[in-house]
């Protein structure tokens, strides 16, 4: 295939090779849409998947989530977490399914992209509180899954990494997204959005994923702005970063669109960093 030809359709063929988002998680998220959740019914659904259950309990027992005591069952965890936190941990518990191999084209190990994704979710949670966003569940989903497109492009981009690096070196004014388009004919945000659309996530979620590096889109609503801002802060913190770390910039108006002020950023960074350190201690020590 000629590399200069549009390759979007070729890349989207690889989207279908990615395993579907776990059915257990999809059913649990559907239950969590109800105003009053039956935790016993939710527990029956989640415990059906032993891997998700184990990951859920390991996550909530880490210091990152600050529970007052260790929990041994899903029901105990549900009783101590809010609905939004349950959704957060549930989605986070599924990430490992897609992070079993390094994403070599981006210079990322499974651990690095997992930590980056978790850090973005945690930063989004902290930003949401300061923005007064009372129902941030779709924000958490978008923030946790914002880089899912890198997994698909990682199947294709590895052989083109030299071209990406060369393009950025020769054109220092380019963003990494622009370089992706020049070399691949696509970028990881649009590929990730398409994957989430096929998985039938809410439009608000896959739009935020599509927008998280696009200045013309991220300013169109609070959720995409918060997703983009969370990602930008985590990149600045150097958590789980790859070859594209310094080839992005924050547009004017992002803080206003997100509904936060400059004074909010430092405490968000401090909180996120501390919680990520707790995750490292729990999972990688």
Share of the chain above pLDDT 90, in %: 56
How confident is the model over 200-259, as pLDDT tens digits?
A: 999 999 999 999 988 889 999 999 999 999 999 999 898 887 666 655 567 889 999 999
Total domains present in the chain? 1
pLDDT for 246 equals 57
Q: Which DSSP letter does residue 98 get?
A: G
> For residue 144, is it within any domain?
yes
Model pTM?
Answer: 0.89
Burial of 250 per CB tally in 10 Å (0-12, 13-18, 19+): middle
Domain containing 162: what range?
Answer: 8-284
In-domain check, residue 142: yes
**pLDDT tens string 50-61:** 999 999 999 999
CATH number assigned to the domain comprising residue 247: 1.10.3210.10
Tell me, yes or no, whether 2 lies in a domain. Answer: no
* 22 alpha carbon, distance to own chain's centre: 16
At 16, is the pLDDT very low, low, confident or very high (cuts 50, 70, 90)?
Answer: confident
> What tens digit of pLDDT does each residue of 154-213 get?
777 767 767 777 887 888 788 778 888 888 888 889 999 999 999 999 999 999 999 998
Would you state the structure tokens that stand for residue 13, as one six-digit string?
Answer: 């063929």
CA gap 249, 260 in Å, rounded: 18
Residue 1 lies in a domain: no
Q: Give the span between the Cα atoms of 231 and 76, in whole angstroms.
A: 32
H or E stretch including 190? helix 188-198
pLDDT tens-place string over residues 117-137: 999 999 999 999 999 988 888
For residue 183, being part of any structural domain is answered with yes
Contact 140, 84 (CB under 8 A): yes
Buried b or exposed e, range 203-227, using 16+ CB within 10 angstroms: eebbbbbbbbbbbebbbebbbbbbb
Specify burial of residue 46 (Cβ count, 10 A radius: 0-12, 13-18, 19+): buried
- In a domain, residue 16? The reply is yes
């Amino acid at each position: 295939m000629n590399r200069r030809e549009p390759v979007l359709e070729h890349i989207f063929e690889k989207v279908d090779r990615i395993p579907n988002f776990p059915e257990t998680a999809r059913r649990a998220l559907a239950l969590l849409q109800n105003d009053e959740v039956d935790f016993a019914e939710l527990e029956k659904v989640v415990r059906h998947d032993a891997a998700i259950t184990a990951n859920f309990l390991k996550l909530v027992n880490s210091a990152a989530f600050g529970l007052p005591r260790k929990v041994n069952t899903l029901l105990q965890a549900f009783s101590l977490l809010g609905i939004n936190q349950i959704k957060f941990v549930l989605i986070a518990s599924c990430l490992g399914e897609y992070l079993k191999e390094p994403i070599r084209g981006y210079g990322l190990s499974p651990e690095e992209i997992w930590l980056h994704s978790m850090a973005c979710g945690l930063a989004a949670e902290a930003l949401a509180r300061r923005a007064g966003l009372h129902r941030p569940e779709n924000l958490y989903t978008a923030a946790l899954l914002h880089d899912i497109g890198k997994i698909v492009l990682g199947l294709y981009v590895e052989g083109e990494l030299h071209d990406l690096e060369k393009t950025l070196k020769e054109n220092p004014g380019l963003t990494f997204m622009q370089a992706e388009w020049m070399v691949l004919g696509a970028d990881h945000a649009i590929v990730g959005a398409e994957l989430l659309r096929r998985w039938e996530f809410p439009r608000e979620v896959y739009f935020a994923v599509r927008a998280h590096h696009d200045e013309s889109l991220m300013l169109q609503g609070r959720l995409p702005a918060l997703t983009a801002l969370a990602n930008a802060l985590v990149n600045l913190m150097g958590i789980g970063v790859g070859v594209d770390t310094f080839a992005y910039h924050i547009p004017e108006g992002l803080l206003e669109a997100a509904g936060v002020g400059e004074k909010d950023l430092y405490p968000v960074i401090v909180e996120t960093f501390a919680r990520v350190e707790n995750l490292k201690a729990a999972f990688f020590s």
